[in-house]
Amino acid sequence: MLTKRIIPCLDVKEGRVVKGVQFVNLRDAGDPVELAEFYDSEGADELVFLDISASHEGRETMIDVVEQVAGKLAIPFTVGGGINTLEDMKRVLRAGADKVSLNTAAVNRPELIKEGADFFGAQCIVVAVDAKYDKDIRSWRIYTHGGRKATDWEVLDWVKEAVRLGAGEILLTSMDQDGEKKGFDVKLTKAVSAAVSVPVIASGGAGKVDDFTEVFNEASADAALAASIFHYKETSVAEVKDYLKKEGVPVR
Amino acid sequence: MIGIVDYGMGNLHSVSKALERLGFEYKISSDIYVLVEMDGLILPGVGAFPDAMEILQETGLAAFLQDWAYAKRPLLGICLGMQLLFKESEEYQLTEGIGLLPGRVERFKGVNAQGEVYKVPHMGWNKLSFSGNDHPLLKEVEEGHVYFVHSYAVKTEDSSILLATADYHEEVPAVVGRGNIMGTQFHPEKSSTVGMNILKNFGKIVEEAKENE
């Protein structure tokens, strides 16, 4: 049976992991390679690196990070952030990433999804969406630019279009739940998961181990992504997986 | 020395990095004159079957790999690389494969026997189940989880080539092998300890083949 995936997410800026990571047992808590190895050893099924560098130099550094991670890890990893062209995808994938994640650039120019899928195969192309509930449309609206800019897209319309163009996976972040630690957005995740034929990664809101059970059992998520709950050691990947096992959720 | 066949459709980096970690020497090449000097070959692959076969035919690599396999030299196909070892695929149109193993590559139906819709691709970690057929590729490997990403799977009448399967709404051939011809549908280079042990076994098979030459 296919297992549910637990995916820690690391924000990387100018080659360093940021957003306060509390890892006393590591030599250097800001080193993405060291953190990646730590999560791998804990049983993470996959990793996501989000490059939040503002500069060109930062992006160049990210390529080095990808190469080093690829050299050390024997689990898949995705790189997102600042990928705007097919050339950007080529550089990241050739450096050893398994998947790229597209967000704003895909909304701005949806053909980018198709270009990537045609060149590398749909399995390499993750479309990340930031969704926020909008009572005017009685559904969730897609936001871009790190959640700063509202678009005209309704979430289900957009994810269906993304999959039609070749998205192999949807990374779905609930802006309403993100940072709240009150659990994943079950309604949103369930709706998106039912709307598309490809796997859906739920993101935003993980606050306790039970939240993971809920998003898998009630929202049919295929994977769940979290950042701070793991970075701040409020729980660990191993603990979450042990708990899920006890609850009868298939995990590795 | 292990040769990684570069025909423009593989995630060569992660396979080569995995071999490096295991301490096996390798060379990535598209040149038949280079590859023929190797002791074993890995055929990686990501993408569409017809595109891959077209390149393999045009470059002469398909015929070269057939000769290689008939000479009983070790060959490991990974993911699409495994599917290419079979007789044919129905991806987009019926396309002839390299034809070293009996079977056809077919798309997951996306609907199970009960009429329930399931997701395609089969993506993520799934558990291996050994068939009981013995092969050195699985020596001392545990029946653990490995990482799959594929929308097409092999269908074969010949159960003697099935070494391990995984359950995804049907029995999915996960490891196949007949003597020197081997394949994994999943990505061993992305499958943590289980995958690394399989690659280590392939490396040993290659070393033994070299000694026996």
> Could you tell me which chain A residue has the CA closest to the CA of B111?
A197
Does the pLDDT of residue B11 top 90, yes or no? no
Token look-up 């993470």 returns A44
Question: Does residue A252 fall inside a structural domain?
Answer: no
Q: What is the mean pLDDT of chain A?
A: 93
A175-187 per-position pLDDT tens digit: 999 988 999 999 9
Distance from C-alpha of B142 to C-alpha of B129, rounded to nearest angstrom? 9
- pLDDT for B87 equals 97
Question: What string of DSSP letters covers chain A?
Answer: -PPPEEEEEEEEETTEE-S----TTSS-TT-HHHHHHHHHHHT-S-EEEEE---SHHHHHHHHHHHHHHHHH--S-EEEESS--SHHHHHHHHHTT-SEEEESHHHHH-THHHHHHHHHH-GGGEEEEEEEEEETTTTEEEEEETTTTEEEEEEHHHHHHHHHHHT-SEEEEEETTTTTT-S---HHHHHHHHHH-SS-EEEES---SHHHHHHHHHTT--SEEEESHHHHTTSS-HHHHHHHHHHTT----
Banded model confidence at residue B98, pLDDT cuts 50, 70, 90 = very high
Mean pLDDT of A72-87: 94
Residue A199 included in any domain:
yes
Query: Structural domain tally of chain A?
Result: 1
Please give the residue range of the domain that contains residue A61. 5-246
Q: Categorize the per-residue pLDDT at A230 as very low, low, confident or very high, splitting at 50, 70 and 90.
A: very high
A11, A227 contact by CB (below 8 A): yes
What are A204-214's pLDDT values in tens digits?
999 999 999 99
Burial tier of A233 (Cβ tally within 10 Å: 0-12, 13-18, 19+): middle
Q: Give the pLDDT confidence score for residue A220 in this predicted structure.
A: 95
pLDDT-derived band of residue A26, with 50, 70 and 90 as boundaries? low
CATH number at residue A127: 3.20.20.70
State the pairing for strand pair A77-80/A47-51. parallel
pLDDT value at position A24?
55
Instruction: Tell whether the model's pLDDT for residue A33 goes beyond 90.
Output: yes
**Is A237 inside a domain boundary?**
yes
Cβ-Cβ contacts under 8 Å for A31 (sequence gap 6 or more): A16, A17
Minimal Cβ distance to B17: which of A93, A96, A222: A96
d(CA A192, CA A197): 10
Beginning with the edge strand found earlier in the chain, give each strand of the sheet holding B181-184 in spatial order.
Answer: B26-29, B2-5, B40-43, B75-78, B181-184, B171-178, B162-167, B129-130
DSSP string, B117-178: B--SSEEEEEE-EE-S---GGGTT--S-EEEEEESEEEE-S-GGGEEEEEESSSEEEEEEEE
**Which chain B positions have a beta carbon within 8 Å of A70's beta carbon?**
13-14, 17
**pLDDT confidence bin for A27, thresholds 50/70/90:** low
B-chain CB neighbours of A71 within 8 Å are: 17, 20-21
Give the residue from A109, A67, A47 showing the smallest Cα distance to A84.
Answer: A109
Any CB–CB contact under 8 A between B18 and chain A? yes
The pLDDT score that the predictor gives to residue A195 is 97
Confidence of residue B209 (pLDDT cuts 50, 70, 90): very high
d(Cα B111, Cα B198) in Å, to the nearest integer?
A: 32
Q: ipTM above 0.85?
A: yes
The predicted model gives A215-243 an average pLDDT of 95
Q: Is residue A49 part of a domain?
A: yes
pLDDT at A93 > cutoff 80 = yes
CB B52 within 8 A of CB B105: no
CA distance B55 to B51: 6
Range A147-166 average pLDDT: 97
Q: Tell me what the mean pLDDT of segment B11-18 comes to.
A: 84
pLDDT of residue A184: 97
Q: Does B191 touch chain A (CB under 8 A)?
A: yes
Average pLDDT over residues A150-160: 98
Give me the percent of chain A exceeding a pLDDT of 90. Answer: 79
Contact status of B47 with chain A (Cβ, < 8 Å): yes
Quick one: average pLDDT of A239-247? 97
CATH of the domain at B203: 3.40.50.880
Q: Give chain B's domain count.
A: 1
Q: Indicate the pairing of strand A223-226 with strand A200-203.
A: parallel
Catalytic residue among A130, A178, A211, A222: A130
* Paired tokens of B121: 């691709």
pLDDT at A128 over 80: yes
pLDDT digits (tens, 9 = 90+) for B25-64: 999 999 999 999 999 999 998 878 998 999 999 999 999 9
Strand, coil or helix: B7? coil
Active site residues of B: 79, 187, 189
Distance, CA of B120 to CA of B91 (rounded, Å): 14
| Span A75-90, average pLDDT | 94
Nearest residue in chain B measured CA to CA from A120:
B47
Does residue A118 or residue B168 have the better pLDDT?
B168
pLDDT at B47: 79
The domain containing residue B22 runs over which residues?
A: 2-211
Please judge whether B123 and A123 are an interchain contact, meaning their C-beta atoms are less than 8 angstroms apart.
yes
Q: Is A181:A205 a contact under the CB 8 Å cutoff?
A: yes
pLDDT of residue A23: 57
Question: Is a pLDDT exceeding 60 seen at residue A164?
Answer: yes
Mean per-residue pLDDT, B6-24:
87
